[in-house]
Chain A
Amino acid sequence: MQLLNLYNCLTTYLVIGALLFSFGVYGMVVRRTVIGMLVSSEFILAAASTNFMAFSRFTSPEPAVGQIFTLFIMAIAAAEAAIAVSILIAVYRNYKSIETDDLTDLQG
């Protein structure tokens, strides 16, 4: 049963990364609130770190490097989420809404 050997194969992890990335892109387009777009952007970052981890486990001579890059991506994602939520709160105070269609002051 070849299905049970999937975890030892690089392409499995690449497909998981591609799946997360496409879910992120789909959510970015479809979601109409800022929070929904924030959630989708986390998926895109997670896809990148999955690829880093997979390549460092299977092909890289130094497997620690991919893990370090994934750690950096996690730190960046945490900082990005904190900033985004605080911007969201500031926007909500001014507009009483977090829908992207309402934030059109610069539209002219």
Chain B
Amino acid sequence: MQTLVAQTGAAPSLFSPEGVVGIIFLLTVALVVAGAFIAVNSKRLVRAVAGLAVCFTGLAGVYYFLLSPFLAMMQMLIYVGAVSILIAFGIMMATPEEQQSVGMKSRSALAGPLAASVSGLLFAALSLLGLKTEWQVFPREGAGDIKAVGLALLTNYGYVFELISVVLLLAIIGALVLAQKGRN
């Protein structure tokens, strides 16, 4: 099993294997940030959805670095493969051509800078909270691999697992009913 706590040893050099891993991680984070920036700031909605897909691809890499290849695969399948495509279909079905670029016209001149400053303050506060707090680290007992995840899903969290499948079924039926109403 990999190390539990942050390694505080000597920093790896640029061309060692650890250094290359670090570079790949930085590229992954850059993908996340760039995708989120495109998704929030682009004028056309289609580009926003493409940015969403890029950001979630990077986030799958981040999950891989968090020692969970299974969650990385699920992120690619569910978010990049299903949710982004679903939103793209929504744009195609519910947006006339001339309206596709109105997404960013802000309500007043104040709305944009106000939103930017509020979210910037939120980011600063949450980051400071993460940086300043002394997080208590407990000794690791479970393995955390896919076998442990499957066992916990079917034993301790079996009830929630069943409930989530009921929620998904209801979502399917509800989506069908809602989208069918008013169709001529």
Contacts and interface: CB of A to CB of B under 8 A. Distances in A.
Given A39-B52, A74-B78, A25 B86 contact: no
Of the listed residues A3, A19, A26, A55, the one surrounded by the most CB atoms of chain B closer than 10 A to its CB is A26
B40 A16 contact: no
Interface in A46-104: 46, 50, 53-65, 67-68, 70-72, 74-94, 96-99, 101
B30 to A, nearest CB: 11
Contacts, number: 290
A39 B29 contact: no
Bin the interface of chain A by size: 35 or more
Secondary structure type dominating chain A contacts:
helix
Interface of A: 1-23, 25-27, 29-33, 35-36, 38-40, 42-43, 46, 50, 53-65, 67-68, 70-72, 74-94, 96-99, 101
Interface of B: 3-7, 11-14, 18-19, 21-23, 25-26, 29, 32-33, 36-37, 39-40, 45, 48-49, 52, 55-56, 59, 62-63, 65-68, 70-71, 74-75, 78-79, 82-83, 86-87, 89-91, 93-96, 99, 102-107, 111-112, 114-116, 118-120, 122-123, 126-127, 129-131, 135-144, 148-149, 151-153, 157, 160, 164, 167-168, 170-172, 174-176, 178-179, 181-183
